[in-house]
Amino acid sequence: MIGLRDPRVPLTAAGLAAVALAAALIWNGSSAVLAAAATVVAGVLAAASLGVASVKATRSPHRSASWRWLAAGAAIWAAGAGVRPLAEGTPFVLTFADLLLFVGTALLAIGAARAARRRAYGRSLLHYILGAYLSGASVFAVCWVLLLGPAYADADEPGTLVLPVLCLMAACAVAPAVLAARSAGRRVGVAALVTLVAITAEEFVTALGRLEGGGTTPLAVLPACAALLLLAAAPWSGRALIRPPRPVADVVVDGLPLVLAGAATVVLAVRVITGVPARPVAVLPVVAASVVLVLLVKVFFLALATAGMRGTIESGERRLMHMAESAGDLVLVCDPDGMVHEMGPGVEALYGYQPQELVGRSIFDYVHSEDAEAVQSALRAMSDDETADRQTACRLSCRVRAADGTWRPAESVATRHPSEGEDLVLISTRDVSDQVALRNQVAHLTFHDGVTGLPNRAYFEERTREVLARHAGGRTAVVFLDLDGFTGVNDSVGHAAGDHLLSQASRRLRSVLRTGDTLARWGGDEFAVLIEAAAGQPDDARVAMELAERMVRAVSAESFRVADRDIVLTASVGVAFADEEITAGDLIRNADVATARAKELGGGRVEVFAAHMHADVVRRLELAADLRRALLAEQFAVEYQPVVDLVTSRVIAVEALVRWWHAGTYSPPRQFLGAAEDTGLIVPLGEWVLAQACRDVAAWRASAWDIGLSLNLSTRQITAPRFVETIEAALAESGLPPSALTLEVIEEMLVEDAEEVVERLSRLRELGVRLAIDDFGTGYASLALLRRLPVDIIKIDPSFVSGLGRDDALTMLTRTIVRVGHDLGLTVVAEGIECPEQLELLREMGCTRGQGYLVARPTDARGIETLMPAGLSPLQNTA
């Protein structure tokens, strides 16, 4: 089976064509039958090829239909060519063979037009028909003047030109559409057009032969045969012709008829100048008149189209201006130099001007001078014909002066607007004052604090970077200030009152700063000041320190009036100086570290950053990380220091102390408990110590040893969530009775966080847990506080015990504490007993319990268990 793109098809067609052409060439012209036979063979071959191709092209119904039309036309035309020799010599001007030839030509024209598709017709079918007639008439006029006129002047059979003229009109009718076609079937259409042209040429030659008294010239059929063979091979060719671009196609459809009409006019003019035919006939005037008439019709329709297009453009401009004005925009038309030609009525609502006031004036009279140059450059760039990348539209931003003298920001879109030969610009302008104000407000809120109105952290960081980049060699300084005790203000009078206090503090700080210094609220109760200093000023450090001192005095000089209360605060201030290589982040960090150092030393003071401060912070962070890992790895251990009855020397209780096995040695509590407290790890660490100690003491009590447990607590432990529940769970799990557990707190905890601490300790006291005040005598506890919180034990601070027998005042104070404790019914425990003289004096004073290195050193659970049989301390063993 031969496929649609099988190369055997065109090869077979070429072979048959060669046979037919060879026969025609061998023929000496003595027989018209042989010429007709060659034509019939070519026509039948074309019809057969197109018919088979139309059957194969099932995927494209339109292409298949056009090929069927062409097949039918080729077959009928071949039939007419075959019977033409039989019709020669008849008395009729148009024989039945001519009718077949005309019908075949018409069908070929229809098939070619369908192959080109209607979209190649141009603007309208009528426009195309007029152009096709104009082309045909022009070509006929040229042919008449150059060839047909002289022969026709002496002829007796004018009807012999009917068929050639009809063929010419058919070819001219489809030529523009085929040449302008961009469809896939364009190659078949071009082959059909070539066939029509060849047939037209053959018919004109035949007509001339008849006018001269002869018949059909055998050589005249060669172009037609070749064209039919080309048409036969066209459906099977895999190569597509180049498709012309759409503008080129439109020029072919619209311009080709005018070109042909111009050529005909030139030929006629030359003929008139050089001479006229011997026998004038009416054909040429009729054709010329029809061409003129068609041209007039085309001009009329063109005028109507132009008027419609102009109306459409004007209507579009009106709608555009109406839409812009409805959207609140101002529309104006000006030239590239800014001279106003038209002004929309929206200018009165936007800027307060009357439209007629601005027409004829330059827009640069109303554009801010700083923006005028950019606007003028943009307008000229749009009208510069020499610029290769000339813009047709652009966006403009500028400030426009309103009638009241205010400058209002505006955003505009400018587009080219050619009108009646002038290169104008259409500008649509919108007032964006509200948007700009909103953007400025957002920017202000982004970089300023909403409570104090000061610049915020983001602004301060950016400002510090700018100053350091500008004053690389100067002594630029950053000062941090932290309000001491501000957290208590929020807790006591509320956050709204706290914000009011911060506003007062910001005003005080601003009043003591210099004009060029930058004050910002860093966050919470922290403020930051950036001190700019130029290079080469030797007193920069002194200026920064004096400013820091003034800030401290400004905060603490007088109380803050908040919520009908006078609140006195102090400030901790840190100062850090910049060097040539420091970054803004490091400089700010150093000031923050210095502030933390000032706060650790009690607050109300100024500290200057030193390198060791940062090293301390880093070590503390590393220590916190090590503590977290140690807690997960269970590297902690519990040691116990015995509490001895000073009368009987029996061990009656133990105080649990945590130890850390770190880097191969035990680390004392003072080295890591501070970091654990700061990071919050003291809470899980304290829970672990509590559980372990409760289990050990419960085991000793199960062995018939009446012994108690003492445990120190921090504020963070007591205020932690579920603190009371954790104590209850540890007692329940170990089986230790609540009365055997004594919880120790320092005096400061009962004063600074009295409400919450006292409430939670009171709940434990109700459960039976005993309470003790550690380091009694060094804090701020009062007898009234002891009444609020029922305390069972007070522990005398080691600083009092160490002075016994050497310092009369300390001896008297210790005696007073012991007496007060007895009068209140409290148990008194002396801490830090290290020599026999201290022990004898305490026994004389009536102190019943004590602990210290003289009594017993801290030891692990196994060391405590050695005292279990008799419950005796080393004192009794050495007595």
pLDDT digits (tens, 9 = 90+) for 514-545: 888 899 999 889 999 999 864 445 466 888 88
- Residue 338, C-beta contacts closer than 8 angstroms, at least 6 positions apart: 362, 363, 364, 375, 376, 379
Q: What is the DSSP letter of 234?
A: G
Residue 416 backbone dihedrals phi, psi, to 5 degrees:
-65, 140
- pLDDT class for 243, splitting at 50, 70, 90? low
Could you tell me how many residues make up the chain?
A: 879
Rounded percentage of the chain residues whose pLDDT exceeds 70: 74
pLDDT digits (tens, 9 = 90+) for 104-129: 778 877 777 777 664 444 456 666 66
Please say if the pLDDT value at position 763 is more than 80.
yes
Please say if the pLDDT value at position 38 is more than 50.
yes
Identify residue 828 by its one-letter amino acid code: V
Contact at 8 Å (CB) between 37 and 22?
Answer: no
Identify residue 383 by its one-letter amino acid code: S
Quote the CA–CA distance of 790 and 824 in Å, as a whole number. Answer: 10
- Which pLDDT value is given to residue 151? 59
- Which pLDDT value is given to residue 760? 85
pLDDT digits (tens, 9 = 90+) for 306-352: 776 777 666 666 666 665 555 557 888 888 888 998 888 888 888 98
Quote the CA–CA distance of 590 and 577 in Å, as a whole number. Answer: 9
Quote the CA–CA distance of 436 and 502 in Å, as a whole number. Answer: 31
Quote the CA–CA distance of 517 and 279 in Å, as a whole number. Answer: 111
Listed range (77-81, 90-94, 137-141, 499-503) with the worst mean pLDDT? 90-94
Please say if the pLDDT value at position 240 is more than 80.
no
- pLDDT class for 762, splitting at 50, 70, 90? confident
- Which pLDDT value is given to residue 878? 42
Contact at 8 Å (CB) between 78 and 42?
Answer: yes
- Which pLDDT value is given to residue 633? 78
Q: What are the tokens at 321? A: 């201006």
Please say if the pLDDT value at position 18 is more than 50.
no
- Which pLDDT value is given to residue 646? 87
Best-predicted range by mean pLDDT (87-101, 187-201, 255-269, 478-492)? 478-492
Strands 636-645 and 606-608, by their bridges, are: unpaired
Three-state DSSP string of 420-461 = CCEEEEEEEEEECHHHHHHHHHHHHHHHECCCCCCECHHHHH
- pLDDT class for 388, splitting at 50, 70, 90? very low
Collapsing DSSP to helix, strand or coil, 267 comes out as helix
Q: Average pLDDT, whole number, for the chain?
A: 78
- Residue 69, C-beta contacts closer than 8 angstroms, at least 6 positions apart: 107, 108, 110, 111, 114
332 CA to centre of own chain:
35
- The residue ranking higher by pLDDT, 151 or 486, is 486
Residue matched to tokens 């100048």: 273
Please say if the pLDDT value at position 196 is more than 90.
no
Q: Which helix (H) or strand (E) is 691 found in, with range?
A: helix 682-702
Listed range (172-186, 578-592, 748-762, 767-781) with the worst mean pLDDT? 172-186
pLDDT digits (tens, 9 = 90+) for 406-463: 999 999 988 887 776 678 888 888 888 888 888 888 877 788 888 888 999 999 999 9
- pLDDT class for 33, splitting at 50, 70, 90? low
Instruction: Look at residues 669, 679, 663, 683 and name the one whose alpha carbon lies nearest to residue 637.
Output: 669
Please say if the pLDDT value at position 733 is more than 90.
yes
Establish how many alpha carbons lie within 13 A of residue 62's alpha carbon, considering only the half-sphere containing its beta carbon: 12
CB atoms within 10 A of CB 340: 21
Q: What value does the mean pLDDT take over residues 749-772?
A: 81
Please say if the pLDDT value at position 508 is more than 90.
yes
Q: What does the DSSP assignment read for 171-211?
A: HHHHHHHHHH--STTHHHHHHHHHHHHHHHHHHHHHHHHHH
- Which pLDDT value is given to residue 501? 92
Please say if the pLDDT value at position 279 is more than 60.
no
- Which pLDDT value is given to residue 248? 53
- Residue 383, C-beta contacts closer than 8 angstroms, at least 6 positions apart: 336, 416, 423, 425
Quote the CA–CA distance of 588 and 596 in Å, as a whole number. Answer: 13
How far, in Å, are 45, 201, 346 from residue 407 at the CA level? Answer: 84, 78, 17
Please say if the pLDDT value at position 754 is more than 70.
no
Considering all CA atoms of the chain, what is the largest pairwise distance in Å, rounded to the nearest integer? 170
Q: What are the tokens at 68? A: 């069927």
Quote the CA–CA distance of 532 and 478 in Å, as a whole number. Answer: 9
Best-predicted range by mean pLDDT (99-103, 151-155, 182-186, 840-844)? 840-844
- Which pLDDT value is given to residue 304? 75
Q: What is the pTM of this model?
A: 0.47
How far, in Å, are 164, 282, 515, 777 from residue 158 at the CA level? Answer: 12, 12, 111, 146
Q: What value does the mean pLDDT take over residues 276-304?
A: 66
- pLDDT class for 474, splitting at 50, 70, 90? low
- Residue 239, C-beta contacts closer than 8 angstroms, at least 6 positions apart: 187
Collapsing DSSP to helix, strand or coil, 776 comes out as strand
Beta bridge pairs of residue 399: 409
Rounded percentage of the chain residues whose pLDDT exceeds 90: 16
